[in-house]
Amino acid sequence: MRENRDLLDTWEADDVVQRFASDPAEELIAWALEQWGTRIALCTSFQAEGMVILDMAHRIDPKVRVFTVDTGRLPQETYDIMERVRELYHIEVELFFPDPRQVEAMVRGDGPNLFYKSVEARMWCCHVRKVEPMRRALDGLGAWITGLRRDQSASRATINKAELDAEHGGLMKLNPLCDWTSEQVWDYIDTYDVPTHRLYQRGYTSIGCAPCTRPTQPGDDARAGRWWWEQNAVKECGIHGLGTARRCDI
């Protein structure tokens, strides 16, 4: 693999998948941090998986870059754990916000709760508040790290530990926990005393914007509490290229 080069080609990406297929998540993270240095960053919304990845990466390199998207509609508990992360790990969390002009135009035209009106309206809100800020967050990077897991939902069932991110210009996207179970995630949290989002204590199994997330019931899909009013819709916001977003007329 060639050094001092940010973007990998398809052959190199496949090589990474094969190389780390059965290795611990920490091995992939350590290799990636050495490979890209300051040109790689960890994306987290401070859910359980993201906190595991953050803890692993910080143990390898305390200067690891961490970023998140603040949609402007997050629950207070998300800000609380964000502050806890800053204090405990002594890191700067890079925050990216939606363009206020886009938010203003969207809310003025379609209302503050447009996401309840249709799937298309919800996807447009996600696009403005999440997808566009994410594009800016990834600008200039060669790779990024996520906490995606295959068993979180059907739309994530085929993700690999490493894949080229065509949605963001061919960056390397790393999913070190893709083959982990929920039990493994929480075992790691218990073993290393990793801080967790307080909404888990109230029955939440997936946490996003406050008006778009609610607790789930035993036996529910992990993402059943996201956009629960939608029927037969993909439970994705578009950040990971697993959903679609377009301008809609309401």
Q: For position 15, what pLDDT does the model report?
A: 77
Instruction: Report the residue count for the chain.
Output: 250
Please give the pLDDT value at position 21.
78
Domain positions in the chain are: 10-103+133-204
What is the model's pLDDT at position 2?
A: 37
What confidence score (pLDDT) does residue 143 get? 94
Give per-10-residue mean pLDDT for the chain (250 aa): 54 76 90 94 96 98 97 98 97 97 97 95 95 94 92 70 85 92 96 97 95 92 88 67 39
CA distance 216 to 213: 9
Query: What pLDDT does residue 241 have?
Result: 52
Q: Annotated active-site positions, please?
A: 237
Strands (E), 62-187: 66-69, 93-96, 143-145, 162-165, 171-174
* Number of helices and strands in the chain (H, E): 8, 6
CATH number for the domain running over 10-103+133-204? 3.40.50.620
pLDDT of the residue at 157:
73
| Helix, coil or strand: residue 121 | helix
Task: Give CA 220 to chain center in angstroms.
Answer: 21
